[in-house]
Amino acid sequence: MGKDATSNGTLGELTVYDPYYCQGSVRRALVGLGLAEGCCLNSNEDFYQVVEKGAVPAHDVLLTNPPYSGEHKQRLLQILLDRQRQPAVVPFLLLMPAWLSATHYWQTFVRELA
């Protein structure tokens, strides 16, 4: 992320949401890159319950490296698709393995996102 990460050029004011908690390492890394401490939303809570309750915190961008086990990738992609169909679209950045691009669910996600 560079100085042009936000419209006013201030990385410190960008609110980043990572819904998958991993011992707080994401928060430490982003703060180390210049994000203000309170602008990194990464709590030890069940992301799917948060979505179900409609309690996703307000943020400028969703940035995550979801767990590769189970159905986490598929569930996240469906949540992102649903959110992109909302009037207020929030950008997202995903760190995913290259093999994901060969899966049916990724190809469906990209097609529906277009």
38-70 per-position pLDDT tens digit: 999 999 999 999 999 999 999 999 999 999 899
Cβ contact 40:26 at 8 Å: yes
For the domain with range 13-113, which CATH number is right: 3.40.50, 3.30.428, 3.90.79, 3.20.20?
A: 3.40.50
Cβ within 8 Å of residue 12, ≥6 positions away: 34, 35, 36, 39
Q: How many residues can be counted in the chain? A: 114
For residue 16, the cross-strand partners are 40, 61
Q: How many CB atoms lie within 10 A of CB 42?
A: 21
Q: Look at residue 1 in the predicted model and tell me its pLDDT.
A: 43
In this predicted model, what pLDDT tens digit does every residue of 97-109 receive, in sequence order?
999 999 999 999 9
What pLDDT score does 3 carry? 41
Residue type, 52: E
